[in-house]
Amino acid sequence: MRLAIFGDVVGRTGRRAVQDHLPGLRETLKLDFVVVNAENAAAGFGITKGTADDLFDAGADALTLGNHAWDQAEALTLLDQEPRLIRPANYPQDLPIPGKGANLFHTADGRSVLVTNLMGRLYMDPLDDPFVAAERELSNAPLGQVADAVIVDMHCEATSEKMAMGLFCDGRASVVVGTHTHVPTADARILSGGTAYITDLGMTGDYDSVIGMDKDEPMRRFTSRLRSGRMVPAEGEATLSGLFVETDDRTGLAVRCEPIRVGGLLASAMPAV
Cβ–Cβ under 8 Å, residues 2 and 246:
yes
Decide if 150 contacts 214 (C-beta within 8 A): no
CA distance 42 to 235: 13
Which residue type occupies 174? S
Closest CA to 180 of 99, 125, 261: 125
What is the helix (H) or strand (E) element at residue 222, kind and residue range?
helix 216-224
Radius of gyration of the chain (CA): 17
Q: Which of 68, 155, 180, 182 is an active site residue?
A: 68
User: What does the chain come to in residues?
Assistant: 273
- Rounded-to-integer distance, Cα 158 and Cα 221, Å: 23
Determine how many CB atoms are found less than 10 A away from the CB of residue 195. 27
Q: Is 182 a catalytic residue?
A: no
Active site residues: 68
